[in-house]
Amino acid sequence: MRRILLVLLAIMIIFLSACSGKGENEDPTGSSAEPSIKSEEMYDFDGIWKDEGEELFGNYFTACIGYGMIEIYAINEEDSLISLLWSGTFDPEKKDDTYVIESVNDHERTDYSEYGYTEDTVTLTFEEEKLKCSVSIMGFPKEFSFVYSRDIAEGLMLEMVNAFDLRFSPLKPEIVKSEVSIYVPEDSENYSTRVSFLVSIENPNEEFAVNRPRLLVSGHSSDGSLIELVDLALPDIPAGDTLIYGGNEDIGECVGEEFEFKIVLDRDLPYMKNGDSTARPYKDVYVMNIEDNGPYAFKGWVQNDTDLDIFHVRFVLVYLKDGKMVVTDLIPHNLEAMLYHKASYFIQSKLPMGEFAYDEMKLYVYATDPHLK
């Protein structure tokens, strides 16, 4: 009997030990309550860290680590403010019993943050369960000593964690196709040489819409340096959808026919979960019964089959000759009346350019400010 009791006691100890590995202390970022060991060599730093030092100007300080990145924030609960101090790479290297991390600044985020630290690198060290570094906050040096947070994030800290996850976990949109054509007008006194461009941008995410992206188009000068021609605000890209977008611009001092395209994501909220976004599938806002309305002009109808009302739309007009793009234009269109959900609206427009030959016209339409009905 005594032997049986000892065996049962041993089983209970093993069971309780297994159950205590994860549970109520599990972090919302998906990491365990303490940095776990990936192998016998390396720690897993992913998760939420909190500075154990004194508050500064009513702010306490936290760090989020994940996706090969670290971001440090100042949080002011009283004023409901989250301020980014640092955003950079996180690639730990072990040296004896110490980890050293040379974090490289993501200037696209820190340079536009009011309290962002603008140095190119920050050195972090990890030993005795503390992650240490030093940055300057509005000219005031601050020594951080972060410890892994056992607190489940709530309030502003939870908002910070969600924003961090949304920045790095979704896949980035990709330009899957681009076309360029140069329009040289016969009437050079009234019209300038322009470059037309058309891109297809794919959102590979099934759960996230791309929020407020921008398209940068650059050409090359005679000495080979880049010249930015276009910085264009794009419509939100729904989950799993493809945006076909284009326009034209004065070619300026650009030479040749080589142009570069780049997608720039919104710094603060590049993605939104499907339920939080007003982006709707492009197929649900479309043109119909489009026909020529004189040279370089069209008329027709826009149909809104979404559950949203629309104030403004943009048209991407593409003229083709023998199947090849000749000219594109981006036409903002302020509707004279609300384009209500499940309704249609008459449109007409004219391309303000010189003469050119074409045998086909395509028209794409996008809502720029949909509203919940």
Gap between the Cα atoms of 233 and 312, Å rounded:
14
Neighbours of 292 (CB within 10 A): 10
Residue 181: the pLDDT is 93
Q: Residue 145 half-sphere exposure, CB side, CA atoms within 13 Å?
A: 7
State the Cα–Cα distance between residues 326 and 196, nearest whole angstrom: 8
Quote the pTM value. Answer: 0.66
Reported as a single tens digit per residue, the pLDDT across 60-117 is 999 999 989 999 999 988 888 889 999 999 999 988 889 999 999 999 889 888 889 9
Which residues are bridge partners to 273 per DSSP?
Answer: 208
Distance CA 351, CA 280 (A): 28
Residue whose token pair is 């026909």 = 291
* 87 contacts 110 by C-beta, under 8 angstroms: yes
CA–CA distance, 72 with 83 (Å, rounded to integer): 9
Show the tokens assigned to 181: 């054509």
320 close to 361: Cβ distance less than 8 angstroms: yes
Question: Can you give the pLDDT at residue 372?
Answer: 56
User: Quick one: pLDDT at residue 196?
Assistant: 93
Give per-residue pLDDT as tens, 190-220: 778 899 999 999 999 998 999 999 999 999 9
Residue with tokens 């508050």: 55
- Measured distance CA(200)–CA(191) in Å, rounded: 28
pLDDT at site 16: 32
Express each pLDDT in 23-51 by its tens digit.
Answer: 333 343 444 444 443 345 678 898 899 99
**Beta strands 297-304; 285-292: pairing state:** antiparallel
Residue 225's pLDDT is what?
A: 92
Q: Identify the pLDDT of residue 275.
A: 81
pLDDT at residue 352, as a whole number: 65
What is the token pair recorded at 275? 């339920």
User: For 228-237, b where at least 16 C-beta lie within 10 A, e where not — what string?
Assistant: ebbebebbbb
* Tokens encoding 202: 């794919």
Q: Which of 315, 321, 201 is nearest to 261 (CA)?
A: 201
Give strand pairing partners of 82: 75
Helix/strand/coil for 167: helix
The one-letter amino acid code at 184 reads V
**Nearest partner of 86 among 60, 62, 58, judged by Cα:** 62
